[in-house]
Amino acid sequence: MDDTTGTLDEALERIHLSGPERDGWLSNHAPMAVEALVRHGQASAVHRWLDRYGPKLEEMPDAGSPVTARNWHEALGDPRRVADWTAYFEREAAERPWREVLVEWWPRLLPGIAAGATHAVIRVGHSVRTLLAGEESAPRVRELAHALGYWAARHQPLPELRPLGPAPSAAAALDRVPPVSGQSGGIRERFARLTGFPVWPAQENVSAEAARGALRELVRASTHRYATHAHGEPIMLVHAATAPNAVLRTLPALPDELWAPSLRAAWAASAAVTAAYAPRAAAPGPASASDTPAAGELFARAAAHGDDHTIKFADTALDVGDALAFAAARRAIELNPPVF
């Protein structure tokens, strides 16, 4: 759904006055949250939400030396170069169609999908969804440049992982992900202790359509799993669903040959978050879905709650669209501290 109010572009222009992180390395969630708010009919809440969230944000760091087509390898994964990377992608997106820039850089960035605790790819997914849905305005194209710049600066490959045997489904694969030892420390420390994941899908070579179907299955399974496992860490476990959903949203802008590697990266991201934060024991699932609100009411509750992760998870739950996904979104509203 395209925004006819102008609110999204206004909000993005406000957001682009700030950098992609705050307090050392916490991600700026504003562009993702406002995109979801506008998409689901909550445009009138956007500027109030930004007024509350905005004081947390920090200015873009000073630029160093330009990133170029010749030296980008040296700057990849260097968060000190985030302003240089953002400027590079702003130039690229101004000179070439945004799809061309995305297709060139997606396979380069995909191995570092863990960047910024997966927030970089999530930000790209929100941006691409907007560009595919409607007007390719300057603030929306610039948002993709900022998202790609953040991903390049925080590019973080996962450690080498050993295969743990095949799983018959995404849900079974998530259930079989071994937790990292201790489950302590920040997400980067936890990711460094990853050892291996179940093999899923079991087929080594999958077609583009099969990859898209598997991604949908993964998003559904990880969203459903939140309903019974969110108590482990209700903020961080959101990303087990929102990261693969960001990849799924980006597929229509990518050539078919990139869909299978995108699936593999999305599975690694979802499994990594699961290993880092999921509790060993599940909580009881929802007794009944009969009292689950309709989609519009559910998202309105998330918007009124105000927490950025809760808003983004509700957005993904609406993409999944079934009663258990809605129950999971309601669980996020219950567990995460409200902002308003």
Residues 243 and 136 reside in one and the same domain: no
Domain encompassing residue 79: 7-154
Residues 192 and 242 reside in one and the same domain: yes
Mean pLDDT, residues 113-133 taken together: 97
pLDDT at 327 (0 to 100) = 95
pLDDT at 268 (0 to 100) = 98
pTM: 0.97
Residues 141 and 83 reside in one and the same domain: yes
Q: Which of 154, 179, 212 is where one domain is finished? A: 154
The verdict on residue 2 lying in a domain is: no
Residues 224 and 331 reside in one and the same domain: yes
Q: Which of 154, 177, 212 is where one domain is finished? A: 154
Residues 116 and 187 reside in one and the same domain: no
The verdict on residue 47 lying in a domain is: yes
| Count of structural domains, the chain | 2
The per-residue pLDDT for range 279-319, each reduced to its tens digit, is 989 998 876 666 778 999 999 999 999 999 999 999 999 99
pLDDT at 289 (0 to 100) = 61
User: How far apart, in whole angstroms, are the C-alpha atoms of residue 98 and residue 92?
Assistant: 8
Mean pLDDT, residues 189-193 taken together: 96
Q: Is the pLDDT of residue 325 over 60?
A: yes
The verdict on residue 141 lying in a domain is: yes
Mean pLDDT, residues 117-134 taken together: 97
Residues 114 and 175 reside in one and the same domain: no
pLDDT at 291 (0 to 100) = 72
